[in-house]
Amino acid sequence: MAKSKGISVVEAYLVAYNAASFVGWAYVLVKALLYLSVHGTNLDGLFDSIGSALIFVQTGAALEIVHSLVGFVRSSAMTATLQVYSRLNLVWGILYMFDYPEVRASYGLVLMVLAWCITECVRYSHYALSLLDIEVYALLYLRYTMFYVLYPAGVTGELLEIWAALPHAAAISSWFWVFLVVNIVNYPPVLYKLYTHMIRQRRKILGGGADNNKAKAAKPVDPVVSKKKKL
């Protein structure tokens, strides 16, 4: 049920941001699925079909760092930075930079894009509705369950993309190659940090066993959609 007392300016902005982000990721997902349904394993035109929209919507996620820094949400700016940085590196530092089939027409790209899109469609729709006090338990459950599969799937796709870009980065600069290798080395600890964070959040919000019944009636204690004073 929607709020009866209205929402603050910050909340209205966050609703609009999350709704727009959902639409953007849903658009990329539909475009990717339509391409795959028509062309199957011929991935030569996949990036041409989704690339601009993918880069645009992912770049927009950088605002989440700003939201944390200015106090619009209670989520950690460091966690937001870790989540956004690797993706910006992939869309701008790899996909935008290297127009090669092994980078732009690979199964790694498919795995990465589908994992990102599904994750973000659920995440942003859940956030937008939560800000309006509309509870959809299915979204809440998916938000704190699908990561078990989608995080490893997305990371696998990301690592395949970085690996494919290494020879081309080396041709530009040895420092660029080293930079990408350092990113690969950093993936395990960063994934562990984000993965365990989500597991803790899942236990806190969904609980286990009999606690799941209580979760259905409870408000999602999600730091990203936490309420602020009205402006």
Is 151 one of the catalytic residues? yes
Measured distance CA(109)–CA(50) in Å, rounded: 11
Measured distance CA(42)–CA(44) in Å, rounded: 6
Q: Alpha helices of 132-210 — where are they, by DSSP H?
A: 137-143, 147-172, 174-205
How crowded is residue 48: how many other Cβ atoms within 10 Å of its Cβ? 12
Dump pLDDT digits (tens) for 114-140: 999 999 999 999 999 999 999 999 999
* Phi and psi torsions of 94, nearest 5°: -125, -65
pLDDT of residue 225: 53
Q: DSSP for 80-145?
A: HHHHHHHHHHHIIIIITT---HHHHSSHHHHHHHHHHHHHHHHHHHHHHHHHTT---HHHHHHHTT
User: Could you say which residues of the chain have pLDDT below 50?
Assistant: 1-4, 209-221, 223, 226-231
Which region, left, alpha or beta, applies to residue 151 given φ > 0 means left and ψ of -120 to 50 means alpha? Answer: alpha
Quick one: DSSP state of residue 219? P
Integer CA distances (angstroms), 209 to 103, 139, 148, 176, 189, in order: 44, 19, 18, 49, 30
Measured distance CA(71)–CA(88) in Å, rounded: 22
pLDDT of residue 208: 58
Q: Where are the domains of the chain?
A: 9-219
Catalytic residue among 13, 151, 187, 195: 151
How crowded is residue 80: how many other Cβ atoms within 10 Å of its Cβ? 21
pLDDT of residue 82: 80
Strand, coil or helix: 40: coil
Measured distance CA(16)–CA(22) in Å, rounded: 10
Measured distance CA(210)–CA(213) in Å, rounded: 6
For the record, the structure tokens of 6 come out as 């209205």
Dump pLDDT digits (tens) for 176-198: 999 999 999 999 998 898 899 89
How crowded is residue 177: how many other Cβ atoms within 10 Å of its Cβ? 17
How crowded is residue 189: how many other Cβ atoms within 10 Å of its Cβ? 9
Is 64 one of the catalytic residues? no
Lookup result for tokens 């619009």: 72
